[in-house]
Amino acid sequence: MIKRKRLGQHFLNSQSIAKSIVSEANITKNDVVFEIGTGMGVLTGLLCQNAKKVISIDADRHLYERAKSTFSSISNLYLEFGDGFKNQNIFSIFVSNLPYSKSKEAIEWLATTSFSHGVIMVQKEFAEKLLSKSGKNRRSVSIIANYVFNVEKFLDVGKKNFSPPPQVDSVVLKITQKKSIDKDLVDIVNRMFSYRRKTIQNIFKQFGKETIIEKRLDDLSGEEIIDLAKQILER
């Protein structure tokens, strides 16, 4: 079985879990589905059954060529080779069994992209960060994700459901978009968290700004952090 070591990818081998993921996506004949990571195609064919169009992209040339051969008879499938996060396709539903190393990048990219909802598989530890409401357990991606999406845990997936098995368990999340934000705001939130041990007053100084707030990021709600990031962005 192929393993993309460079991307940290392990391939889902459970048809029942694949069907559950596709079912949770609630795909209709009006939907354009975007899949990052065609992989071995365990989700790809199922996605095509109800969608108007499925765009599936993979950064691995071998897997892209393999999928072209395997799915050559499916008329509503458009296979692409390249970096999905640089893709300009318009879609309504996002579905992906993400390489663990790409999870943060995916969330940040989706936060700046307009779509309806998505179903994504991520490492269990990463899912716990996204779902965390505790100040100290949150990361910048937690703040971004919960501001932009409703994030719900849908399914636990054990390591035995992959080939080869990873060292950690996975979780399937349903994300529904509430709003989108621009990349500049994402970048500011990330930079703020690089100074998370400092007070807000001192964080603002890093950006050449002033505030009288002496709390720290861990003491603030996600909405408050986003509001401060917007203040920093103001010219």
pLDDT string in tens for the chain (235-residue length)? 344 444 456 899 999 999 999 999 999 999 999 999 999 999 999 999 999 999 999 999 999 999 999 999 999 999 999 999 998 899 999 999 988 889 999 999 999 999 999 999 999 999 999 998 777 889 999 999 999 999 999 999 999 999 888 899 999 999 999 999 999 999 999 999 999 999 999 999 999 999 999 999 999 999 999 999 999 998 6
- 193: Cβ–Cβ under 8 A, 6 or more apart, which residues? 139, 140, 143, 217
Q: Taking the alpha carbons of 195, 198, 202, 204 in that order, is the dihedral positive or negative?
A: positive
Q: Which domains does the chain have, with CATH numbers?
A: 11-181 (3.40.50.150), 185-233 (no CATH)
* Alpha carbons 227 and 197: distance in angstroms, whole number: 19
25 is written with which tokens? 């996506």
pLDDT for the residue numbered 203 = 97
* Alpha carbons 20 and 100: distance in angstroms, whole number: 20
